[in-house]
Amino acid sequence: MISLAVSIRDLSVQYGRRLVFQGVSFDLAAGQAAGVIGPNGSGKTTLLRTIAGCLTPRSGEIRINGLTPRDALGRTGVAYFAGDATLPGAVRAARWGSLGNGDIVTPDRRRLRALSRGTRQLLGLRTALGRQPLGLVVLDEPWEGLDPDAGRWLSTILETKRDRGAAVVLSSHRLHDLAGLCDVYLFLLPHQATVLRAHEIATVGPVTAEHLSNVFDRLRGGAMSLRATS
Amino acid sequence: MRDASYLFHFFRVAPPVPPLMIWTFVVTTAVAGVTVATDPRRAAGALAPILLLQLFTASSGFAVPARRGHYDLLLTRGGRRVHVALAHWAMSIAPGVASWLVVALVERVATGGASRALVASGTCAAFFMVSTVPWALTVALPRFAGGIGWLLVLVTSASTFSTGVFSDWTVASTRVDGLVWPAWAFVVYPAGAVGQTFTSAQSLAAAPGLAIAVCSMVLACRWAARADVPLEAAQ
């Protein structure tokens, strides 16, 4: 069991002069999953990339097992995947698959750009999740483009990784995939970040997509009225 | 060691040099090899196209593919970023270096070891220049930017000053005022030094250019190690 925790305190990130998000704080223990929900352009990808050590926050801090993300990368197995668009199209599928843990993920010799979007997405996920051992899993819109079978495979493998002690951070627009899988939900709206634990969203029974949708609509309504009055 | 082997494995799978450039090197090397084999005196001239090609191949660009997410698997693995940058540089220049070594071998075989123009100090210095500065200039820019910029400086210099200073790279004296033009000529057109064994005056004239190459590599690696890598689509 890997004892790892993600701790984010008052995090803000900006590109040049544009503030992407601010005031994001949450904790995630080893063996827990967090779901990031928000409209397009709210900073979900940027937040996940900051957790993966690719971006430096403007203010606030991220600690992974007490270390900065870049230091933690070297000591913790991190699986990060930001979608099929990040795969280089000229590379052959079988060769890309060998970059995970060296195992053959697919025998397909076609170039990545010749594959369907879902096949690329699945290959990217399998390669990233192939690393062993994994202490932190950070996936950006992982269910995008996947067929139902592949979607179920992903949900199962994420539950397995989580139950084996990995901390999991996911973003998705597909609320029914996030519902029930996550212990913490971060609603990222322009100029507003709200963190709710699963038991705060659904006091009885598991969190459903409807619960998440209701909370999201309520928060979005609040944010819009806030903007209208300011 | 495992990290180094993964780095090189990654850049073999996702090479920084497009296959078309590799094939161009194969053809250019074949032509240069035949030229040197038939007339070893033309060795320096035969290497010029390889140097030009290396100028553009080394301008491979690190930041742009990184911002497209192509190197995410590598950057989130936890190795030192400076090692990633150096592996990227090594794989960017490898086809040119291989090409150079093949032609140098042909020269050695063709002359029975009598001529060593293609491994002379001037040739090594010229190859070092075109293998480092363009990569360093292009580290944060799109592919070929360093090569295009360099050619622009060369064309501007050649049209502004006498072209003789570039084609015939001789250094008459070790006095500072006598070194300025040769030093500039070496920076702008290092191919002029190919085939020459440096005299002490030539070494002095080449020193600023070589220092620029080393400094540009240090700065580029430092930049690659510290720079943020946002996803292009998310900005």
Q: What is the pTM of this model?
A: 0.91
- Domain membership of residue A37 (yes or no) is yes
DSSP letter (8 states) at residue B163? T
Q: What residues contact B129, with CB distance under 8 A and at least 6 apart? A: B186, B187, B190, B209, B210, B213
Shortest Cα distance from A80 to chain B (angstroms)? 7
- Domain membership of residue A93 (yes or no) is no
User: What is the C-alpha separation between A2 and A173, in angstroms, rounded?
Assistant: 29
| Amino acid found at A197 | R
B78 to A88: CB separation less than 8 angstroms, yes or no: no
Q: At B196, give phi and psi (nearest 5°).
A: -95, 140
Three-class DSSP labels, B166-233: HHCCCCCCCCHHHHHHHHHHHHHCHHHHCCCCCCHHHHHHHHHHHHHHHHHHHHHHHHHHHCCCCCHH
| Amino acid found at B142 | P
> Number of folded domains in chain A?
1
- Domain membership of residue A38 (yes or no) is yes
The pLDDT, as a whole number, for residue A132 is 80
- Domain membership of residue A225 (yes or no) is yes
- pLDDT tens for B117-159 read 999 999 999 999 999 999 999 999 999 999 999 999 999 988 8
The pLDDT, as a whole number, for residue B162 is 67
| Amino acid found at B228 | D
User: What is the C-alpha separation between A209 and A180, in angstroms, rounded?
Assistant: 8
User: What is the C-alpha separation between B205 and B198, in angstroms, rounded?
Assistant: 10
Chain B's closest residue to A125, CA to CA, is: B73
Tokens of B216: 């540009």
> How many residue contacts between A and B have a Cβ separation below 8 Å?
76
**What is the domain extent for residue A199?**
6-77+134-146+167-229
DSSP letter (8 states) at residue B162? -
What pLDDT tens digit does each residue of chain A (230 aa) get? 445 589 999 999 998 888 899 999 999 999 999 999 999 989 999 999 999 999 999 999 999 999 999 988 888 889 999 999 999 999 999 999 999 877 777 888 899 999 999 999 999 999 999 888 889 999 999 999 999 999 999 999 999 999 999 999 999 998 999 998 999 999 999 878 999 999 999 888 889 999 999 999 999 886 555 444 44
Query: What proportion of chain B, given as a percentage, has pLDDT over 70?
Result: 93
- pLDDT tens for B42-78 read 999 999 999 999 999 999 999 999 999 999 999 998 8
- Domain membership of residue A54 (yes or no) is yes
Residues B21, B27, B33, CA angle at the centre, nearest 5°? 130
Longest CA–CA span in chain B (Å) reads: 59
Whether B47 and B130 have beta carbons less than 8 Å apart is answered as no
User: What is the C-alpha separation between A126 and B201, in angstroms, rounded?
Assistant: 59
- Domain membership of residue A202 (yes or no) is yes
The pLDDT, as a whole number, for residue B179 is 83
Tokens of A75: 């000591």
Whether A54 and B72 have beta carbons less than 8 Å apart is answered as yes
- Domain membership of residue A27 (yes or no) is yes
A86 contact residues in B (CB cutoff 8 A): 68-70, 72, 231
User: What is the C-alpha separation between A116 and B109, in angstroms, rounded?
Assistant: 51
User: What is the C-alpha separation between A92 and A86, in angstroms, rounded?
Assistant: 14
First to last CA, chain B: 36
**Between the CA atoms of B139, B144, B148 and B150, what dihedral angle is there, to the nearest 10 degrees?**
40
Shortest Cα distance from B32 to chain A (angstroms)? 29
The pLDDT, as a whole number, for residue A212 is 94
The pLDDT, as a whole number, for residue A223 is 59
To probe the interface with A, which of B7, B76, B91, B231 has the most A CB atoms within 10 Å?
A: B76
Query: What mean pLDDT comes out for the span B90-118?
Result: 94
A87 to B78: CB separation less than 8 angstroms, yes or no: no
Return the number of other C-beta atoms located less than 10 Å from residue B218's C-beta: 12
Say whether pLDDT at B164 is over 70: no
Shortest Cα distance from B98 to chain A (angstroms)? 23
Residue A141's domain is classified under what CATH number?
Answer: 3.40.50.300
Chain B's closest residue to A130, CA to CA, is: B73
Whether A37 and A216 have beta carbons less than 8 Å apart is answered as yes
- pLDDT tens for B176-223 read 777 888 898 999 999 999 999 999 889 999 999 999 999 999 999 999
- Please report the ipTM that was assigned to this predicted complex: 0.90
Three-class DSSP labels, chain A: CCCCCEEEEEEEEEECCEEEEEEEEEEECCCCEEEEECCCCCCHHHHHHHHCCCCCCCEEEEEECCECHHHHHHHCCEEEECCHHHCCCCCEHHHHHCCCCCCCCCCCCCEHHHCCHHHHHHHHHHHHHCCCCCCEEEEECCCCCCCHHHHHHHHHHHHHHHHCCCEEEEECCCHHHHCCCCCEEEEEECCEEEEEEHHHHCCCCCCCHHHHHHHHHHHHHHHHHHHHHC
* Residue that has been written with the tokens 């827990």 in this structure: A32
Q: What residues contact A156, with CB distance under 8 A and at least 6 apart? A: none
The pLDDT, as a whole number, for residue B3 is 81
Q: What ranges do the domains of chain B cover?
A: 2-234
- Helix (H) / strand (E) element for B100: namely helix B81-111
Tokens of B2: 């495992």
Q: At A110, give phi and psi (nearest 5°).
A: -70, 160
A73 contact residues in B (CB cutoff 8 A): 76-78
Average pLDDT for chain B = 91
